[in-house]
Copies of this chain bind each other. A is one copy, B any other.
Amino acid sequence: MSFVNKQILVTGGAGFIGSNLVIKLIEAGANVTVLDSMLPGYGGNLFNLAPVRDKILINFSDMRDWHSLSYLVREKDFIFNIAGQVSHQDSMNDPMMDMEINVKAQLVLLEACRRFNPDAVIAYTSTRQLYGRPQYLPVDEKHPINPPDVNGINKLAGEQYHTLYSKVHGLRTVSLRLTNTYGPRQLIKNSRQGFIGWFINRAVTGEKIQLFGNGQQLRDFNYVSDVVEALMLASQSPNCFGKAYNLSGDKASLQEVAEKLIRFCGTGSCEVVPFPEERKKIDIGDFYGDSSMFQQDTGWLPMVNLDQGLLAATKYYQEYKEHYLGE
Contacts and interface: CB of A to CB of B under 8 A. Distances in A.
A191 to B, nearest CB: 19
Given A157-B157, A168-B92, A282-B168, A104 B99 contact: yes
A149 interface: yes
A164 interface: yes
Contacts of A108: 96
A96 B110 CA distance: 11
A145 to B, nearest CB: 6
Contacts of A107: 95-96, 99
Nearest to A281: B168
Contact of A103 (B92, B103, B111, B168): B103
A12 B92 CA distance: 27
Interface residues on A, range: 20 to 34
Contacts of A167: 281
A153 interface: yes
A29 interface: no
B144 A153 contact: no
A164 B145 contact: no
A154 interface: yes
Copies of this chain in its oligomeric complex: 2
A156 interface: yes
Nearest to A103: B103
A115 to B, nearest CB: 12
A161 interface: yes
Contact of A153 (B92, B147, B149, B157): B157
B160 A147 contact: yes
A161 B157 contact: no
A145 B131 CA distance: 12
A284 B280 CA distance: 39
B150 A161 contact: yes
B153 A161 contact: yes
A190 to B, nearest CB: 21
Given A153-B157, A154-B157, 17 more contacts: A95-B111, A96-B104, A96-B108, A99-B103, A103-B103, A103-B157, A144-B144, A147-B160, A148-B164, A149-B168, A150-B161, A150-B164, A153-B161, A153-B164, A156-B160, A167-B281, A168-B282
